[in-house]
A and B are shown apart, each in its own frame.
Chain A
Amino acid sequence: MSADAPARVEAAAPSASAAAGAPASAPARRWLAEAAAVFAKDWLAELRSRHALHTLLLFAVTTLITVSVALGPLGVSSSERLAVLPALLWVILLFAAAAGLPRAFVHEEETHTATALRLAATPSAVFAGKVAYSASLLFAVELLLVPLYVAVMQLPVPALADLLLALVAGGFGLALASTLLAAIAAQAQGRAALFPILAFPILLPLLLLAIELTRGAVGGAVGDGVVANLVLYDATMAVAGLMLFPLVWNP
């Protein structure tokens, strides 16, 4: 099933680097090709089973229903809505991510395709491909969930740009941290159970920033430098991930 997928990665990488181009950028080309191949492989496997998508969407929608029923349009006084609802949105996204994203590595370890993947691509390219995959999964979930949430909770969005920024930067940060930590958790005995324990402390500062920006998007107050800090978080996680992932991935 997915056993031929790593072969796909290997096949894609050499053919891409064989393409004509300036010699100096050939390694970069190869790296990009490997990352793209990992991304494509994961999405191909995902589209066959749609397991992660189902998990993410199911969790997101179930949590949304729970929140909506519990709060209702009259459940939260209107002065507190703008403070509470952005936070709940991100709690839902966090739950969904914790449920759906660790599979990116646990599945590889369980079906033993991880070894083939280690041989087929350089670690940082694997990391980039997995992050792209996790991020796109999350963005797909956000695309479905957020309009639903806004409609069901009757949330005004005067600053749409801020909301989109929060979703993109927050989602990307979630994907970055989750990918690195999922790789660590996948090698432990507890596997998926360990992931939330490792992820919560690292994700909390990100969530606080994303919640604050979302709060601003729906009309609340935003502190200075929230956007800058979000970008800084993402950049730091990206650098840390690219540097540390190879150490996690290779014995």
Chain B
Amino acid sequence: MALKPLSLAWRWALWVWIALAIAGAFFYAPLAKDFIGQSSRILFFHVPMAWASFVAFLAAGVWSVVYLWKRQPDHDRAAAAAVELGLVFAVLATLTGAMWAKVMWHAWWNWDPRQMSIVIALAFYGAYLVLRGGVEDPEARARLCAVYAVIGLVVAPYLYFVMPRQAEFSLHPQPVVNAAAKVEMNSRMLQVLITSSLGFTVFFFWVHGLRRRLLRLADRRAEGSVTA
């Protein structure tokens, strides 16, 4: 019943890693200038969550490509689980962003280009779930959703990285890697940011694996058979 020692070890290592990121966010990283009070600390949660949602949507697209190639239900389940989790992270990113916006710009919402693009992303992947619920035949459902998630492979990078940079005016702070491809951020802040981002990414893959297995169990129960 217990996990192999190595598997257990990396899970606890993840706990330590993220605990370190949390501690770093509050005690190790300095406050960013131009931000009100302690609010710049939200950066270390808000940005990694947005990043994790992007990774999730990208993964969904990749698994969908594999599904369209191999037509194995497990890849479809993997894609669906990735979209679900991606939406969770995106919602969290939106909420933390709104909290930050309220503190900095005194309004929960401004339709700033980045806010706009995350809303479109939420609508896009929310539509994926609606599509999933709207097709009865399992093969057609998997195939159509896979195509949609592959469209997402173009849409998501555009929304996350192209669209926000195109606007001439944005309330959001400039991207960390600016147009000259040089990094402009205090090194301690950068360390915590990267630590947190990596932690959230690994966390995503862990929870994704769990969700994928749950979906497989549900399918197994539905068809009453034992083979995965």
Contact = CB atoms under 8 A, between A and B. Distances in A.
A241 B224 CA distance: 38
A174 interface: no
Contacts, number: 64
Interface in A152-200: 180, 184, 187-190, 194, 197-198, 200
Interface in B131-189: 131, 134-136, 139-140, 143-144, 146-148, 150-151, 154-155, 158-159, 163, 166-168
A251 B130 CA distance: 20
Contact of A251 (B123, B127, B139, B163): B139
A22 B163 CA distance: 45
Interface residues of B, number: 28
Chain A binding surface SS class? helix
Interface centre among A198, A201, A223 (most CB of B within 10 A): A201
A42 B158 CA distance: 34
A23 interface: no
B68 interface: yes
Interface string A219-241: 00001010001000000100010
Contacts of B159: 205
A26 interface: no
B135 A188 contact: yes
B150 A223 contact: no
B56 to A, nearest CB: 16
Contacts of B124: 201-202
Contacts of B158: 205
Interface of B: 68, 120-121, 123-124, 127, 130-131, 134-136, 139-140, 143-144, 146-148, 150-151, 154-155, 158-159, 163, 166-168
Given A223-B167, A247-B68, 4 more contacts: A187-B144, A190-B134, A194-B131, A205-B159
16 contacts: A180-B151, A184-B144, A184-B148, A187-B135, A189-B135, A197-B127, A198-B127, A201-B121, A201-B124, A204-B123, A205-B120, A225-B166, A247-B146, A248-B143, A248-B147, A251-B140
